[in-house]
Amino acid sequence: MIVHRNIFCAVIQITLGTLIYILLREPVYFTEPIIGSMPNTPLITLPDNMWSYALKFILPDALWCTALLLYASIIEYKALRLVVIILAPSMELGQLAGIVPGTFDPVDLLIYFLLTLIFITQWERTKQKSF
Amino acid sequence: MGKNKTKVILGHCAALCIFALIAVASSSSKDAIRGVDDFVEGYNYGKSLVSDASDEIEPVEMDSVITDTNSPLVATIK
């Protein structure tokens, strides 16, 4: 039951992140097939402030990372779970090294670190409760 | 039992690949060139507002901004 709930939540989070990309961000590779070839402008233009930046650039990454961590929580193999947990920071560091396409953002790395910390803390607490 | 374990691990690996693919597809965006695009667009727009300057300054293309070191735009940055 928890497995299904976590997968459902992960799918919802990925969907929300995709919606943000489609509506608020400039077209990217995966949104172009959905909304077609568009000029390099977002469908909805937000004012240029900190909140818009957080909504457009940080929230989708945070949702993706949370979905990834939720998925990690249903994996029973420790090694595989570890691989899933380190995927998000690895992708960001890969961008820094130029291995993964994209723009490195230290804020993303910080968000991934905080989310992973919360996930591990919650995971330990849940494990302690179940014993 | 062994087959089941393999199937489960393969399923997880597939899911992991999907997550990685989403990350790559979303980061392989035009974001990297957005800064230059916006800069060029803003420059051309600004130039169009100043009608007196339009005869002296040619509209710039992204390539010329990057390659032409004698461009007035690059000179401004310097």
Question: Under 8 Å CB-to-CB from A100, ≥6 apart: which residues?
Answer: A91, A94, B23, B24, B27
Query: What pLDDT digit, counting tens, does each position of B16-32 carry?
Result: 888 888 887 776 554 44
A40-59: b (≥16 Cβ within 10 Å) or e: eebeeeeeeeeeeeeebbeb
Query: Comparing C-alpha atoms, which of B63, A103, A4 is closest to residue B74?
Result: B63
What was the pLDDT predicted at B78? 44
Query: What pLDDT digit, counting tens, does each position of A32-49 carry?
Result: 666 666 566 677 777 777
Q: Determine the 3-state secondary structure of B58 from DSSP.
A: coil
Q: Which residues of B touch A88 (CB under 8 A)?
A: 23
Q: Has the ipTM of the complex gone over 0.85?
A: no
Residue reference for tokens 């961000």? A25
Which 1-30 residues of chain B touch chain A by CB within 8 A?
9, 12-13, 15-16, 19-20, 22-30
> How far apart are alpha carbons A23 and A35 in whole angstroms?
10
Angle at B35 between CA B34 and CA B39, to 5 degrees: 115
Contact state of B27 with A67 under an 8 Å Cβ cutoff: no
Lowest-confidence range among A73-77, A105-109, B26-30?
B26-30
Q: How confident is the model at residue A21 (pLDDT cuts 50, 70, 90)?
A: confident
Contact state of A28 with B28 under an 8 Å Cβ cutoff: yes
